[in-house]
Chains A and B, each alone.
Chain A
Amino acid sequence: MGSGGDIPEIPARPDERERPRVGVDEWVANVEDRREERAGIAGLAGRIDDLVPPWARLAAFGLVAASLPLWMERGDLFAYGIFTLIYVLLGLGLNVVVGYAGLLDLGYVAFFGFGAYFYALLSSEQYGIHWPSAVSFPVVVVSTALLGLVLGIPSRRLLGDYLAIVTLFFGQAFVVFVNAANPTVRGKGLTGGPNGIADIDPNDLFGYELTTRRQQYWFILGAVLLVLIGLHFLSESRTGRAWRALREDPLAAEAMSIPVNRLKLMAFAFGAAIAGLTGCMFAAVLTAVTSGNFALPILITIYAAVILGGIGSLTGVVIGAIVINVSFQFLAPENPQDNARILFYAVIVLLLLLGIRPLWRLAAVLGGTIAFGLMAHAIAEAISPSWTAGAVVEGGRFGDVVADWVIIPADNERFANAAYIALVVAILALTKIHGWWRTGLLVPTVYLATIVWETSFVAQPAVARWILFGALLVFLMTKRPQGLLGTPRVEIV
């Protein structure tokens, strides 16, 4: 038999300065790295993610986040601070199930709802029970984990789409149960039906009640930091590796001594536990829970946060949640419409910025669009002043500038509909043509989009924010499917 000594000598890694030779497998192996370097802003974010050690990132995030209440208004702290943290926590829990274990769980929000309702039952006038948080938190978290386990049992043999369908059903069933079933317990509707449960006690820190927004914010921030640390350690443990292994290839994982079914259940239970914990704090902050809080929109929002940030990356989830919630609150109906307008134009410019190469072509499109708008506006005004007599909706200073550029006729409605149809046609045409024709058509298309925005959407920010958001997500996913900080996943090589 051969002995150990005579394995042929393999050259060590070529020096960095040495020009790699084509065909050397080292060169091939680094293709991904070089591709990464060219990936612009997002690529830069990815490199920062690699370079800055996790504890430094955590410390930076913790410090900045902890200082927020010192300069933010109370209302803003609620909308921007607390809600972002809630989304971060939910995203972190979902990341365990979807990001690590690769289980497409669409019933995740039900665990959040269960936690919130359960906390409400244990700490409100509903049944006159007022447990301290030190007792109710563990009870709720463990029960939610058990619920996750129970849901996991039938789900563990379901793969991919089938699991998604079953869990989606579970999520909807929870909403219906809370809303409509509302079983009578001790002479009272258990879940309060459509009215939900009100007058929920605040969380308390060993008897000290957290009633102000600042206290609540810091309390939740503490929970976020602890969960982040715990998850970081967990993902670098045998369990974390086993989850990722089963995401990659369940059969190979099973053959490598990993009990796949048990780990799936653990992922479900663990994700559910975090959602339950979040529910406790959510219920206490809102002081009331209704089924509407736990329906599909929030599920979509959390998924968007996790996907945007990069599935499987803790930093990514945090950033995704911040981006999503801040842009959502920014566009909230009670905010001035000019916010939505600024965001819309920012998104347009950003999309062009990311989507058009090389730079001179980008400059041509941007300049062309501005010139095209001024020209179109001047021509329309020359033909009939009434064509440009319409006012921008709730124009701020930015709106006034826009009014001199976009055609907004006095008789708005028919024109708006026509512009909408023209925009759809133009976008469809864009997908069919290439080269200079596409660049040329892009100019009137962008202009049409602004007309449609100013005449139809700007008055309805509730609709507009979803549309903006969808457009941004679709674009990001085609340009960078792994999300902002996710590592590019390779399925087959």
Chain B
Amino acid sequence: MAEKEALFELRAVTKSFGGLVVADKLSFHVDEGEIVSLIGPNGAGKTTVFNLVTGLYRPDSGEIRFESRDIVGLPPHRITQLGIARTFQTLRLFLNMTVKENVMAAAYGHTRSTVFEAIFRLPRARREEREIAQLAEEKLAFFGQRLAGYRHDQQAYNLSYANRRRLEIARAMATNPRLLLLDEPAAGMNPAETHELTELIGRLRTEGGYTVLVIEHDMHVVEGISDRVIALDHGIKIAEGSFEQVATNERVIEAYLGLRGAA
């Protein structure tokens, strides 16, 4: 390949469960610094893509490349350590840990102190502990007042739904990723919160320096943030381009509204 390789790329990735093909020769890429949206009707295979990328599923064939290496077959925690972090559509926080602990736990992958060092409070363990705490506060500060101050020591189950979504993002950020995968970050948020989130995703790029791949149903969010939009249906990429291009694409409209099938 003559030109520079993309930060992240799917090459003909296929996955099926029994007879059901959930990803069919799927290929797309995300460049460094881009915000790309993944859209499609329910069951289109969007979350499956995330599960394939993060190693929860293993593709039947195809390549998933990140920073010019194939990450297929690596265990999920290795993939996260390489720099791909995700949030969960269904919210999988560590509910019985505090807000700050949730974020601190995610720093496991880039800290090194051993059990022995922790028990005896050796210098490296102490230093890392300080760094992790600071990192967590930094990441939480990204959300302004929402997760500030007194919230740090609250159990995660005390948080409202929208704040849990924010905490999921903060937790993913604490793994020090280059690529953030956000799975429906605006689900369950009211319009004001959705608006705030749209700006937040922009800041993730400008201030955080992350590249973002986001699954989203709310078209206002998609329109507001996306450099590029990729539309999926039945595990097949049916459209790709700017928001306007995809939104007016006939196949996308069909997939959402089912014109042909609505007889």
Contact = CB atoms under 8 A, between A and B. Distances in A.
Interface of A: 1-4, 6-10, 12-13, 25, 28-30, 32, 230-231, 233-234, 236-242, 244-245, 248-249, 251-260, 266, 270, 487, 489-491, 493
B263 interface: no
B205 interface: yes
B125 interface: yes
A244 B94 contact: yes
Tell me what chain A mostly uses at the interface: helix, strand, loop, or mixed.
helix
A255 B80 contact: yes
Interface stretch (B5-13, B60-68, B196-204, B230-238): B196-204
Contacts of B56: 251, 255
A440 to B, nearest CB: 40
Interface residues of B, number: 63
B111 A3 contact: no
Contacts of A10: 144-146
B202 A1 contact: yes
B113 A237 contact: yes
Contacts of B155: 32, 487, 490
B160 interface: yes
A248 B96 contact: yes
Contacts of B171: 256
B95 interface: yes
A253 B109 CA distance: 11
Interface stretch (B14-22, B37-45, B100-108, B250-258): B100-108
B115 interface: yes
B219 interface: no
Given A13-B149, A258-B105, A260-B77, A8 B192 contact: yes
Given A8-B192, A256-B171, A493-B95, A1 B101 contact: no
Contacts of A257: 77, 80-81, 85, 106, 108-110, 175
Interface of B: 54, 56, 75-77, 80-81, 85-86, 88, 92-97, 101, 104-111, 113-115, 118-121, 125, 128-129, 132, 144-146, 149-150, 154-155, 157-160, 163, 171-172, 174-175, 192, 196, 198-200, 202-203, 205-207, 225
Given A237-B113, A238-B113, A256 B108 contact: yes
Nearest to B150: A13
B105 A237 contact: no
Contacts, number: 157
The 3 closest A-B pairs by CB, nearest first: A257-B109, A2-B199, A237-B118
The CB with the most chain A CB atoms within 10 A, among B54, B93, B94, B95, is that of B94
Contacts of A248: 93-97
B155 to A, nearest CB: 7
Nearest to A240: B118
Given A244-B105, A258-B109, A266-B115, 20 more contacts: A1-B202, A2-B203, A4-B206, A7-B145, A10-B146, A13-B150, A29-B158, A237-B118, A238-B104, A238-B113, A238-B129, A239-B114, A241-B108, A244-B101, A248-B97, A256-B105, A257-B108, A259-B75, A490-B95, A490-B155
Nearest to B149: A13
Contact of B207 (A4, A9, A251, A266): A4
Contacts of A493: 95, 157
A256 B75 contact: no
Contacts of A13: 149-150
A252 B108 contact: no
Nearest to A11: B145
A52 B155 CA distance: 20
Contacts of A251: 56, 92
Nearest to A26: B150
The CB with the most chain B CB atoms within 10 A, among A236, A238, A248, A259, is that of A238
A253 B54 contact: no
Contacts of A266: 115
Nearest to B164: A493
Given A6-B199, A256-B105, A256-B175, A245 B97 contact: yes
10 contacts: A1-B202, A8-B192, A241-B105, A242-B108, A248-B94, A248-B96, A255-B56, A256-B77, A257-B77, A257-B80
A422 to B, nearest CB: 44
B33 to A, nearest CB: 11
The CB with the most chain A CB atoms within 10 A, among B108, B128, B145, B149, is that of B108
Nearest to A5: B199
A258 B150 contact: no
Given A13-B149, A252-B94, A255-B86, A239 B101 contact: no
